[in-house]
Amino acid sequence: MRSPTTCAGDLPIDPSTSACNGSLMSRDRERISVTYISKDGIGHHADYDRLFEAALAPFNVSLQRVAAPGRGADARAPLFYSFFDTKPSETLAALGRATLRSWLGRPTVGLMFRPGDCFIAGSVKSRLRRLLFRFVAHLPHVHLLSIIPLALEPRLAEVATNWIYDPQLWDLEYLHAVAREPSREIRDPLQAAARGRRLVVALGLQNRGKGFDYFVDVWCASSRLRAEYLFVAAGKVSDESSANAKRFVEQGGILFNGRIADEDLFYLYGEADRIWSCYSPDYDQSSGIHGRAIQLGIPVLVREGSYIDAFGKLLAHPSLALPMDAPLMAAERMQAWQAEAVSATQRRGIIDNMKSHSIAVLLDALTRS
94-104 pLDDT, tens per residue? 999 999 999 99
Number of domains present in the structure of the chain: 2
In a domain, 233, yes or no: yes
List Cβ<8 Å contacts ≥24 apart for 67-76: 67/37, 67/38, 67/39, 67/40, 68/37, 69/35, 69/37, 69/94, 69/97, 72/35, 73/33, 73/35, 74/33, 74/35, 75/106, 76/106
Q: Note whether 22 and 119 are same-domain residues.
A: yes
Q: Note whether 165 and 194 are same-domain residues.
A: no
We report the CATH number of the domain holding residue 296 as: 3.40.50.2000
Which residues make Cβ contacts (< 8 Å) with residue 252, sequence separation at least 6?
193, 226
pLDDT (0 to 100) of residue 6: 35
**What three-state secondary structure class fits 303?**
strand
Q: Note whether 82 and 162 are same-domain residues.
A: yes
Angle, helix 212-221 to helix 327-336, in steps of 10 degrees = 70
**Residue ranges of the chain with per-residue pLDDT less than 70:** 1-29, 40-44, 177-179, 369
Q: Note whether 158 and 223 are same-domain residues.
A: no
Strands 254-256 and 229-234: parallel
Strands 12-13 and 32-37: unpaired
Q: How far apart are CA 63 and CA 73, in angstroms?
A: 11
We report the CATH number of the domain holding residue 35 as: 3.40.50
In a domain, 344, yes or no: no
Q: Note whether 161 and 201 are same-domain residues.
A: no
In a domain, 141, yes or no: yes
Other CB atoms within a 10 A radius of the CB of residue 368 amount to 12
Q: How far apart are CA 205 and CA 227, in angstroms?
A: 26
Q: Note whether 122 and 200 are same-domain residues.
A: no
pTM of the model: 0.88
In a domain, 11, yes or no: yes
32 forms beta bridges with: 61
In a domain, 343, yes or no: no
**37 lies in which domain range?**
5-176+350-367
Q: Note whether 34 and 156 are same-domain residues.
A: yes
Q: Note whether 222 and 334 are same-domain residues.
A: yes
In a domain, 102, yes or no: yes
Q: How far apart are CA 48 and CA 78, in angstroms?
A: 18
Question: What type of residue is 8?
Answer: A
In a domain, 132, yes or no: yes
Starting at the earlier edge strand, list the strands of the sheet with 108-112.
61-66, 32-37, 79-81, 108-112, 142-146, 162-163
pLDDT (0 to 100) of residue 44: 67
Q: Note whether 105 and 89 are same-domain residues.
A: yes
Q: Note whether 293 and 361 are same-domain residues.
A: no
Q: Note whether 199 and 129 are same-domain residues.
A: no
Question: What type of residue is 2?
Answer: R
pLDDT (0 to 100) of residue 2: 33
In a domain, 223, yes or no: yes
pLDDT (0 to 100) of residue 211: 95
Q: Note whether 149 and 195 are same-domain residues.
A: no
